[in-house]
Amino acid sequence: MFKTSLAAAFAALLCSAPVLAEPILIKFSHVVAEDTPKGKGALLFKKLVDERLAGKVQVEVYPDSTLFGDADELQALRDNKVQLLAPSLSKFEQYTTQLQVFDLPFLFDDLEAVKRFQKREKSRELLRSMANHNIYGLAYWNNGMKQLSATRALHTPADAAGLTFRIQPSAILEQQFARVGASSLRLPFAETQAALQAGRVQGAENPWSNIVSQELGALQPYVTETDHGVLSYMLVSNSSFWISIPYQVRVQLEAIIDEVTLAVNLEAEALNARDRQRLVAAGNQVVSLNSEQRAAWRAAMQPLWQEYEGKIGSDVLRAAQTVNRR
């Protein structure tokens, strides 16, 4: 009798026990190859989540625009069809004009200046500048300073006249090239190689690692080392989704993101140094500017700072200008 009652009580306890919830699914979509800093960062995020939050969070990574491409990934995020993206900062133009500060040419002397700015409170505030659009900024991932690649050598601004450059969707980047007599064409990154092959564009602006990973060097034998701008990404989530994650799990995820961000930024610097040498070894001509030539490029493009101060905000622009050590 006692055994029967005990068995019945145990069965009732099992029936009343809470059913374990399914793991939180995070789909991480991006548009570049897995051997780029962003691609490696996505895989490292998945690895660390699998190790530390097994059974609580599941991460799926979709590289090379296999889930969503440049044109539709942000709307997909806002619709919660994907939970993590790392678009370049130029892609956020329609949601906030303040992030255009990162597109201004020759604003930052080098990557160290960029990193100093990203640590400033004003820059941290920009991570939340799209909250009303259901876009939640988590971190800045840097892919390096941009260089100009083209089908002919670019020593002075006049050398760019008549060429068409592939750009990201950014009004500043359009005007940047217009100021040196060049045209621009907004294209998804994945279409750059085909556009070069077809002659639709004759140039582009990318960090060294992007030029190598997309094999753009074979189509553009000249690369001018301008460091004229920065290609940075913002790791973003859907605001409603991210805030809905239980607090303790969210804290762990954000700690992992901090760890991955450091690794991504270090990886980007190492890759860019390596890939610059790989381009030289492959026979590409790297054009180094002297001080007079660099000053000419800067003078041609710098008026955009004043033109966009009203949209970006004078406080943001001032904070960015103070990080250089010249």
pLDDT digit string, tens, across residues 217-232: 989 999 999 999 999 9
Encode pLDDT of 93-115 as tens digits: 999 999 999 999 999 999 999 99
Encode pLDDT of 15-67 as tens digits: 544 444 799 999 999 988 888 889 999 999 999 999 999 999 999 999 989 99
Instruction: Judge whether 3 lies within some domain.
Output: no
Q: What pLDDT, on the 0 to 100 scale, is given for residue 37?
A: 86
- Determine what percent of the chain is predicted with pLDDT higher than 90: 85
Residue that is written with structure tokens 């490696």 in the block: 40
Domain holding 29: CATH number? 3.40.190.170
- Whether residue 287 is predicted with pLDDT greater than 90 in this model: the reply is yes
Instruction: Judge whether 242 lies within some domain.
Output: yes
Instruction: Judge whether 14 lies within some domain.
Output: no
Secondary structure string (H, E, C) spanning the chain: CHHHHHHHHHHHHHHHCCCCCCCEEEEEECCCCCCCHHHHHHHHHHHHHHHHCCCCEEEEEECCCCCCCCCCHHHHHHCCCCCEECCEHHHHCCCCCHHHHHHCCCCCCCHHHHHHHHHCHHHHHHCCCCHHHCEEEEEEEEEEEEEEEECCCCCCHHHHCCCEEEECCCHHHHHHHHCCCCEEEECCHHHHHHHHHHCCCCEEEECHHHHHHCCCCCCCCEEEEEEEEEEEEEEEEEHHHHHHCCHHHHHHHHHHHHHHHHHHHHHHHHHHHHHHHHHHHCCCEEEECCHHHHHHHHHHHCHHHHHHHHHHCHHHHHHHHCCCCC
The mean per-residue pLDDT over the stretch 229-252 comes to: 97
Instruction: Judge whether 253 lies within some domain.
Output: yes
Q: What mean pLDDT value characterizes the chain? A: 92
The mean per-residue pLDDT over the stretch 288-314 comes to: 97
Q: What pLDDT, on the 0 to 100 scale, is given for residue 18?
A: 45
Q: What pLDDT, on the 0 to 100 scale, is given for residue 5?
A: 55
Rounded Cα distance, 42 and 54, in Å: 17
Instruction: Judge whether 1 lies within some domain.
Output: no
Instruction: Judge whether 69 lies within some domain.
Output: yes
Instruction: Judge whether 181 lies within some domain.
Output: yes
The mean per-residue pLDDT over the stretch 233-259 comes to: 98
Domain of 167, in residue numbers = 25-269+276-322
Encode pLDDT of 259-273 as tens digits: 999 999 999 999 999
Size of the chain, expressed as the number of residues it contains? 326
Q: How confident is the model at residue 214 (pLDDT cuts 50, 70, 90)?
A: confident
Of 275 and 71, the structure prediction assigns the larger pLDDT to 275
Instruction: Judge whether 6 lies within some domain.
Output: no
Total domains, the chain: 1
